[in-house]
Structure 1
Amino acid sequence: MSWERRGGGGGGGGGGGGGGKEEEEEEEEEEVEEEEEEEEEEEEEKEEIEEEWKEEVEVEEEEEEEEKEKEEEKEEEEKEEKEKEWKEKVEEKEEEKEEEEKEEKEKEWKEKVEEEEKEEEEEEEKK
């Protein structure tokens, strides 16, 4: 009989060993949870970094676009200024030409008037 009791007692010891397994499983679960949390934090950090990077890229692209637009505006203004100067020069040349033509016509008219007066004088002298 004593042997049987001891054998029963041994079975109880086995149950205690089972309790040790539960602690190991809990520890493993905690480690897995910690690893998952770390992975989530790393993923969040990665996403934050990517978001910051995207924002920086957008800002840089906007700045480049603004700079490009300013450069284009500047070029357009320079082009308009050159066209304006060119038109002024053309107008000035045209005015000079008109003035020269006017002076030439006046000169021709004076010569014609003088010629006619001269002819009239000659005719009067003949009479």
Structure 2
Amino acid sequence: GKTGRKSQGESKHETRRECESVRARERARERASQGDRVTARERVRARARERASQGERERSRARERERGRARERASQGERASSRARVERERERVRARASESQGKSKRASESRGRERESGRERARERQVERECESTRGSVRMRESE
């Protein structure tokens, strides 16, 4: 029995030591995995940061491009407007020149024409009004 007990005691010691070593190993593994996790998190964060900075760079580049385009458009618009202004001025000069030439004759003609067309328009309106009134009365009769 003695030998059995002794071996048992030894085995107890052994098992305790083994348990401790196992526990230590587990702890070490836990620490390592935690470290891995931390590094993984860091890596993810770093990647996100990189992506963000890249996006920012892209955006700034796009903004610059847009600004350049806007500037180009503005300068083009200015050029176009100045050209239009010149055209308009030229047109005005031409109109003034042609106006002073034979102005009175044409003016009197146009005035007479306007008077005539005005009379005609009034006549047309009168006819229209009469037609409308008769149509209205006919409609009323029909509804009765």
TM-score w.r.t. the length of structure 1 is: 0.73
Identity fraction in percent: 14
Of 17, 31, 35, the match for 1:52: 31
Counterpart residue number, 2:79: 100
Residue among 41, 62, 87 paired with 2:66: 87
* Distance of 1:58 and 1:121 partners within structure 2: 93
How far did 1:116 drift? 2.8
Question: 1:16 maps to what in 2?
Answer: none
How many residue pairs match? The answer is: 103
- How far has the Cα of 1:122 moved from its partner? 5.6
Residue 35 of structure 1: SS of its match in structure 2?
helix
Select between 108-117 and 45-54 the one with higher mean Cα deviation.
Answer: 108-117
Q: Deviations over 1:48-105 (max 9, x none)?
A: 0110001000000001111111111101111111111111111111111111111001
Counterpart CA distance in 2 for 1:25 and 1:97 is 105
Question: Partner letter of residue 5 of structure 2?
Answer: E
Distance 1:82 1:25 in 2: 83
Detail structure 1 runs of 4+ shifted over 4 Å in the superposition: 120-124
Counterpart selection for 1:77 from 33, 40, 56: 56
Q: CA RMSD in A?
A: 1.6
Query: Partners in 2 of 1:98 and 1:25 — Cα distance?
Result: 106
Which residue of structure 1 lines up, in the alignment, with residue 113 of structure 2? none
- Does the alignment pair 1:61 with 2:40? yes
Q: Report Cα offsets for 1:28-51 as digits up to 9, x if no partner.
A: 111111111111111101100110
Q: Which runs of 5+ in 2 are unaligned?
A: 104-144
Matches of 2:99 and 2:16, distance apart in 1:
122
Partner of 1:40: 19
SS of match in other structure, 2:71: helix
Greater Rg, structure 1 or structure 2? 1
Which ranges in structure 1 are unaligned for 5 or more consecutive residues?
1-21
Say whether residues 1:113 and 2:113 are aligned partners: no
TM-score (norm 2): 0.65
